[in-house]
Structure 1
Amino acid sequence: MLVAKLGEALLLALGMAWQVGWSLVLGFAFSGAVQALVSKQRMQNLLGRAGVREIAIATGFGAASSSCSYAAAAMSKTLFKKGAALVPSLAFLFSSTNLVIELGIVLWLLMGWQFTAAEWIGGLILIAVMTVLVKLTYPKALVDEARRHVDEATGHDHGSMEGEGASLAERLRSPETRIAIAQNFSMDVSMLWKDLLGGFLIAGALAAFVPDGAWTRLFLHGAPPAVQTVGNAIIGPVIAILSFVCSIGNVPLAAVLWTSGISFGGVLAFLYADLIVLPLLDVYRRYYGLRMALYIFAIFFTTMAFSAIVMDGAFSALHLVPKPNPNIRHDLTMFAFNYTFWLNLAFGALAVYLWLLDRAHPMQHGCHGAHEMTAPSSRLMKNRPS
């Protein structure tokens, strides 16, 4: 029995990792490209304020980029480090883990179109609520401290090729740009791979070992509807915090929780809360310092629970809450030659290419990315003929 359960847990963990693998590579590569191509001045001009325009740009930027919370955290760190204001940086986090198309597709296939709609609409509500909360509590001294900490933790900005007069296409074709992207990609992956591995294993164990009866009691079945709605909106993020897994990867576990009796709002709160899982909180601590990490956690938890309650009320009033799939565990362990397979194949090849490129041109850095580095663009530019 124990051996069978262990096998089921590992299979579920593998299935969750398989669903999110390609988006991880996409997110880390995109983050590395922004670090290599976009100058600090350009980022400050685009996102240096916390106005409606800057928040909208960051939201659109996020929706067009990563769908994994770990990769999104690396990208958000890059925006903040390059001079983006706090609110647009955090808006990018929410949009890149809630408004992306691939996440909506996975939700639709596993849980129904209603969850896709709630995820996308809820993503906008998350950004609106977070913006209000940050502006009401804005800690200027803490933000300044976080900017100093992110430079110390991940290295001071060494510029980009943006100011050299070349077009974006020319910069992308240059060898030094590809080297810089590969180095940034490898540094972020080296910081986070243990957190990712632990997250998938824990999520698989929760799905396999926790009996449905335990979930039923945890989700307050039999309590008044209002109590259950609010309670599940709080319980959902707590489960997410302990389960460790990131955005697309937490959809399969969300489907398991949905069949186990959590409310509609509880599922949404769980999905929203992929940004405050324990490994990511530690990532925020490493990037920004402990005090800023605690501030982000408080703002995010409040935002996620409140937004989930709003969405639960709205979808329940409109009679749009779907029925759960009782066969979801079986479906998660089935392998198919679908779009996930081909995306993983393509982005796996990209990951190997970037890894080999970094091996050929290693960045000189210390623990957790605190490094003294010679930017490839600067180093190789010196060798060009004048």
Structure 2
Amino acid sequence: MSPFLLSTRRSARVGQRRHLGQALLIAVGMAWQTGWTLILGFAISALLQSVVSTDQMETVLGRSGPKELALASVAGAASSSCSYASAAIMRTLFKKGAALATSLAFMFASTNLVLELGIILYLLLGWQFMAGEWIGGIVLVVVMSILVKLTYPRKLAEEARNHEEAVGGHNHMTMAVEGDTIGQRLTNPQTRIRMAQNFTMEWSMLWKDLAIGFLVGGFLSAFVPNAFWKSLFLTDASPWLKVLLNALLGPLIAVLTFVCSIGNVPLAAVLWAGGASFGGVLAFLYADLIVLPLLDTYRRYFGWKMAAYIAGVF
């Protein structure tokens, strides 16, 4: 074999190793950046499971009226911005007695109406995207609640509310600890034990899905050049065709590349620079709740039928 071919193969192997290392580094970096939101979200979920009774949850969020939807959206906007963590909290809300539309509104708001997402959008893409994300997010919460009201699968919802998957031989502990008030439950020594158990079981259920999501995102970022994403959008097509194409491509790309709602913003900037429309970029950002690892998380929480329903609504 000629020295030239040997040199070429050697360079190719070096390049592959470099890209592999870069992919793993990106995956670890994404996990590091989103780790605190995951811990916060799972901790909130574990606390709610331990101290909030089913009756109290039904009283506050048991209906899907404007007041309850607004309260859930505000609470979501003030909570964790990571989709996996918000899904864990949503699961607790729903199983504790919150209405389905209210629970989904919380999850959508926690990934699309949070302050830090708007700040990053403003810094990378401008105030128009920040305003579009927030205003569009409110509109989509309203649309989502109407869809759920029109198609509400009562029997399926009850099955999903009672669905539990054993983790390590134990079931999630959704019963609140003893105490007449939340204050008494917070000071109950059993609360810390129950929280630790719920927190651990939450991680045990989801760590594989999280690992897959981070690794896929890292490998796509390292091995797929930005030019590929730019070539997908028909920048010279008619405006109507471009709008429809972007509305379809945005969510599809998100399904393949998503790690967490905040981590999606840099790629959104690449898509915008590559010719994606304003609405297409927003569609890409909004699709953070229908990525494959999250759909599998819904399946674990509620069963595959409810996971399919949630995916259809979103």
Partner of 1:225: 239
Distance 1:215 1:22 in 2: 30
CA RMSD in angstroms comes to: 2.2
Partner of 1:335: none
> 2:172, 2:198 within 8 Å by CA — same for their partners in 1?
no
Q: Structure 1 counterpart of 2:179, which letter?
A: E
Please tell me whether residue 287 in structure 1 is matched to residue 301 in structure 2: yes
Alignment of 1:134-153 (within 5 A): 134-150=148-164
Aligned residue among 55, 58, 61 for 2:75: 61
Distance 1:255 1:11 in 2: 21
> 2:163, 2:301 within 8 Å by CA — same for their partners in 1?
yes
Change (3 A) 1:114 1:289: same
Q: CA shift at 1:200, angstroms? A: 1.8
Please tell me whether residue 177 in structure 1 is matched to residue 181 in structure 2: no
Partner of 1:52: 66
Partner of 1:39: 53
Aligned residue among 179, 196, 213 for 1:164: 179
Distance 2:284 2:111 in 1: 13
Distance 2:64 2:244 in 1: 31
> 2:172, 2:201 within 8 Å by CA — same for their partners in 1?
no
> 1:13, 1:200 within 8 Å by CA — same for their partners in 2?
yes
Change (3 A) 1:201 1:254: farther
> 2:165, 2:300 within 8 Å by CA — same for their partners in 1?
no
Please tell me whether residue 298 in structure 1 is matched to residue 309 in structure 2: no
Distance 1:237 1:155 in 2: 34
Q: SS of 1:270's equivalent?
A: helix
Please tell me whether residue 256 in structure 1 is matched to residue 270 in structure 2: yes
> 1:81, 1:150 within 8 Å by CA — same for their partners in 2?
no
Structure 1, gaps ≥5 residues long: 301-386
TM-score (norm 1): 0.71
> 1:16, 1:252 within 8 Å by CA — same for their partners in 2?
no
Distance 1:103 1:17 in 2: 17
Q: CA shift at 1:84, angstroms? A: 0.9
Distance 1:217 1:142 in 2: 42
Q: SS of 2:81's equivalent?
A: coil
Partner of 2:100: 86
> 2:118, 2:130 within 8 Å by CA — same for their partners in 1?
yes
Q: CA shift at 1:235, angstroms? A: 1.0
Change (3 A) 1:165 1:231: same
Q: SS of 2:163's equivalent?
A: helix
Q: Structure 2 counterpart of 1:107, which letter?
A: L
Q: Percentage identity across aligned positions?
A: 60
Q: Structure 1 counterpart of 2:175, which letter?
A: G
Please tell me whether residue 10 in structure 1 is matched to residue 24 in structure 2: yes
Distance 2:78 2:171 in 1: 27
Q: Structure 1 counterpart of 2:176, which letter?
A: S
Alignment of 1:231-270 (within 5 A): 231-270=245-284
Identify the range of structure 1 (218-227 vs 121-130) with the bigger mean alpha-carbon deviation. Answer: 218-227
Please tell me whether residue 110 in structure 1 is matched to residue 124 in structure 2: yes
After superposition, give the CA deviation of every residue in 1:157-205 in whole Å (9 maximum; x if it has no partner): 65324x623552x543443212222221221112112222221221222
Partner of 1:208: 222
> 1:67, 1:248 within 8 Å by CA — same for their partners in 2?
yes
Distance 1:126 1:292 in 2: 20
Identify the range of structure 1 (118-127 vs 270-279) with the bigger mean alpha-carbon deviation. Answer: 118-127
Partner of 1:97: 111
Distance 2:31 2:123 in 1: 17
Distance 2:117 2:47 in 1: 22
Distance 1:204 1:253 in 2: 12
> 1:232, 1:265 within 8 Å by CA — same for their partners in 2?
yes
> 1:207, 1:256 within 8 Å by CA — same for their partners in 2?
no
Q: CA shift at 1:252, angstroms? A: 2.9
After superposition, give the CA deviation of every residue in 1:301-338 in whole Å (9 maximum; x if it has no partner): xxxxxxxxxxxxxxxxxxxxxxxxxxxxxxxxxxxxxx
Q: CA shift at 1:244, angstroms? A: 4.2
Runs of 4+ in structure 1 deviating by more than 6 angstroms, as ranges, are 151-154
Partner of 1:73: 87
Distance 2:277 2:79 in 1: 30
Change (3 A) 1:189 1:203: same
TM-score (norm 2): 0.87
> 1:70, 1:280 within 8 Å by CA — same for their partners in 2?
yes
Alignment of 1:224-373 (within 5 A): 224-300=238-314
Q: How many residues align?
A: 298
> 1:232, 1:263 within 8 Å by CA — same for their partners in 2?
yes
Q: Structure 2 counterpart of 1:159, which letter?
A: M
Q: Structure 2 counterpart of 1:4, which letter?
A: R
Aligned residue among 33, 40, 49 for 1:26: 40
After superposition, give the CA deviation of every residue in 1:241-296 in whole Å (9 maximum; x if it has no partner): 12241222322333333333322222211111111110110111111111111111
Q: Structure 2 counterpart of 1:160, which letter?
A: A
Change (3 A) 1:274 1:86: same
